[in-house]
Amino acid sequence: MVKRRVAFYLMTIPALLLFFAFHTFPAIQGIYYSFTNWDGFSESFDYVGFKNFINIFQDENVLNSYVFTFKYAILTTILINIISLLIALGLNAKIKAKNFFRGVYFLPNILSVLIVGFIFNYLFANVFPIWGAKLGSEFLSQNILGNSDWAWIGIVIVAVWQGIAYNTILYLAGLQTIPHDLYEASNLDGASRWREFWSITFPMLASFFTINMVLAMKGGLMVFDQIVALTGGGPGRSTQSIAHLIYTGGFQGGEFAYQSANAVIYFIVIVVISALQLKFLQKREMDL
């Protein structure tokens, strides 16, 4: 018994130390520096109290990046969950080559976000405009990533295309847990497919819906790789997310302490949003 406990500690403690060293300790350092004016490379710095936090709420660039990030996160969360649920329902039906289609739809999830972003960047800049010109469409003939009014749509398209893969698998796993007897009983009662979905399928997927909504919203709020690969925050600052602003300002703009304060605020925002989502969606699970 003692040897088994020792083995468990030997497996747990090293992982805990690594997690603390590369995650918890840097986070604590970031909170510490957020109360200073350190630029990220100078040897000396001064404590400024809550000055950074006050200035964050008066910074127009920060407010614009919050607006863009929330707009992006809400839209991608809705689209990803609707499309992935529809795909999961199709893949759960009695169709030929089911496993093949499951593999195809899951493929985007195993690809690097940056690689996918660079590929779509090339498509938006070179391929799609040629197709648009041949179709005689003025809108499709332009590179939308270079248009400050439409660049965010390109980012949403890429994020949704790649994001539906993981959510589809989770919904598909949830569909596998629904007893087939329920559908047989509903067929005997003459229920329509739409009625089956709202009365059986969707309520039984409530916990999976909660997980997918929280994960999709969290991923949307932390968007970074797609921004780097597609627009770099441009044109201008029209597609600059909070995560991208923190990175560029903190590591390239000499605003390490200032952006550390921004990161602390944003961490609190994400925690609050996730907690509210869980509270609301889990309450919905109890009501079903």
The full DSSP string for the chain is -HHHHHHHHHHHHHHHHHHIIIIIHHHHHHHHHTTB---SS-S---B-TTHHHHHHTT-HHHHHHHHHHHHHHHHHHHHHHHHHHHHHHHHHSS-TTHHHHHHHHHHHHHS-HHHHHHHHHHIIIIIHHHHHHHHT-TTTTS-GGG-TTTHHHHHHHHHHHHHHHHHHHHHHHHHHTS-HHHHHHHHHTT--HHHHIIIIIHHHTHHHHHHHHHHHHHHHHT--HHHHHHTTT-STTTT--HHHHHHIIIIISS-HHHHHHHHHHHHHHHHHHHHHHHHHHHHHHHH-
Residue 22 lies inside a defined structural domain of this protein: no
| Parent domain of 260 | 34-287
Residue 115 lies inside a defined structural domain of this protein: yes
Residue 12 lies inside a defined structural domain of this protein: no
Residue 225 lies inside a defined structural domain of this protein: yes
Number of domains in the chain: 1
Residue 16 lies inside a defined structural domain of this protein: no
Q: pLDDT tens across 220-276, in order?
A: 999 999 999 999 888 888 999 999 999 998 888 788 899 999 999 999 999 999 888
Query: pTM score, two decimals?
Result: 0.87
Q: pLDDT tens across 141-199, in order?
A: 888 898 888 899 999 999 999 999 889 989 988 888 888 888 778 777 777 778 888 88
Residue 29 lies inside a defined structural domain of this protein: no
Q: pLDDT tens across 14-69, in order?
A: 888 999 998 899 889 989 999 998 887 888 888 988 999 999 999 899 999 999 99
Residue 15 lies inside a defined structural domain of this protein: no
Residue 17 lies inside a defined structural domain of this protein: no
Residue 227 sits in a domain whose CATH number is: 1.10.3720.10
